[in-house]
Structure 1
């Protein structure tokens, strides 16, 4: 009689608050390696935050278990009327659409059962897009194609590929804390009616932009904020902030453009490309070899600029917004 085939062990879900950081050592080490190999991104600081909140029993989300061992997890943050899915990762041997869907399903259920939550936002770099299927009716889900782009050899880039320099009535200054409040108002104006304000609703108001700026300058989700490469564009006549490029380091030799925007009246005049050039050169001056950024695929003008100056898409991912269920 032939031996019976061994049945695969069932994967189960358990609240993250049953675990401590020591239970996630192997899984988080794998996630760090995946981000480094696929995106040249040092994910260790983000993992340290996960470990911290695991040990506090304060990380809201779910673990995917094989037996008693975590082989995946997803966590979320509740902010007033919305829920942000901070991360979702499944170990390679178990990284199936079904496993990812199971985690997402539990997060979505938590959102639906949280009073006042009407919106979920997610940008999950390692998620298989098929895992989202059937979680919500199409009328409640909006999907945005996005690109993770990288340029190597930033010290050898040529200025002429960035287009004409902007007119002399704009001056450029290194980023300073004194620009935080003007930057919040600039972001709200720059993203009015822009596709990215549909993805991240913090862009829709100065108050939301203020929270966004606090997050990217104080927390490592977009890398460690790197003041030496951040730039401010100032209208020479009025003294007002009219453009900015904010930057971080994701590896000692790799920078990241966390925000690049220009006031509506200054668009099309080469200001954005000049800010980008200056930030990339500042990275190179500090020993940087490469830089990355993310862009929404439908933002065709920005995509063309980045490709023209040497960026290439190394990963395609999706941003998701669920609304209308609260």
Structure 2
């Protein structure tokens, strides 16, 4: 085993004039947080992260069980903000509704919040759902009276870094996450 380090950025932005949920493409809808939807958030999170780099950095993202455990931990945190926690669903038909995006919000101080785990499932990427989730969470932070929002992102996830920059986030710190990796001699 050896250690490898992955660069991560801490990013932050001021909360501006977000006053309502952003529009979603046809066929998609927002679902507000409720404990009864925890497994839908879990499914979206696992499908969004299970095969991505972040699953190498954070063991909990590798399995559905780990994602469920993570969702339960986030929902129990003292600063958990239901109004900044959203699910996006794709409504293929009235009987076929698919959770395809998730985001969670945590109050970290009296004036600031943190976004946790923005995830969009691979089949639904490229439709603006990630930006809509971040905007919806920001509306929730604003409703809670917060003026700043931050997040962390793996630097190698250039699409996510560009998205956050487009949404007004700026890098405030560079962090390194150590990960043990197996290596072979052959």
Normalised by the length of structure 2, the TM-score is: 0.88
The alignment status of 1:282 with 2:137, answered yes or no, reads no
CA contact (8 A) 1:148 1:292 kept: yes
RMSD: 2.1
Aligned equivalent of 1:300, options 158, 163, 169? 158
Alignment-derived partner of residue 214 in structure 1: 72
Aligned length: 179
Aligned to 2:36, the other structure's residue is in SS state: helix
Whole-Å Cα distance in 1 between the matches of residues 46 and 144 of structure 2? 31
**Contact map agreement 1:247 1:259 (CA 8 A) in 2:** no
Aligned position for 2:16: 155
2:32 is matched with: 174
Q: How far is 1:324 from its partner?
A: 4.5
Shift of 1:226: 0.7
In the TM superposition, 1:207-286 aligns within 5 A as: 207-219=65-77, 224-237=79-92, 238-286=96-144
Contact 2:84 2:104 in 1 (8 A): yes
Q: Partners in 2 of 1:212 and 1:282 — Cα distance?
A: 21
Alignment partners' CA distance in 2, 1:174 and 1:301: 26
Greater fraction of residues in strand: 2
Q: Gaps (5+ residues) in structure 1?
A: 1-138
Asked whether the equivalents of residues 185 and 205 of structure 1 are also in contact (C-alpha less than 8 Å), the reply is no
The 8 Å contact of residues 234 and 242 in structure 1, kept in 2 or not, is answered as: yes
How far apart, in 1, do the equivalents of 2:127 and 2:9 lie? 24
Higher relative contact order (CA 8 A, sep 6+): 2
1:141 aligns with 2:3: yes
Q: Greater share of helix residues, 1 or 2?
A: 1
Choose from 23, 44, 47 the match for 1:186: 44
Structure 2 residues without counterparts, runs of 5 or longer: none
Per-residue CA distance 1:16-55 (angstroms, 9 max, x = gap): xxxxxxxxxxxxxxxxxxxxxxxxxxxxxxxxxxxxxxxx
Q: 1:157 to 1:183 in 2, by over 3 A?
A: closer
TM norm structure 1: 0.52
Alpha-carbon separation, structure 1, partners of 2:80 and 2:19:
26
Distance 2:47 2:31 in 1: 21
How far apart in 1 are the matches of 2:36 and 2:97?
13
Q: Distance in 1 between matches of 2:63 and 2:47?
A: 8
SS in 1 for 2:127: coil
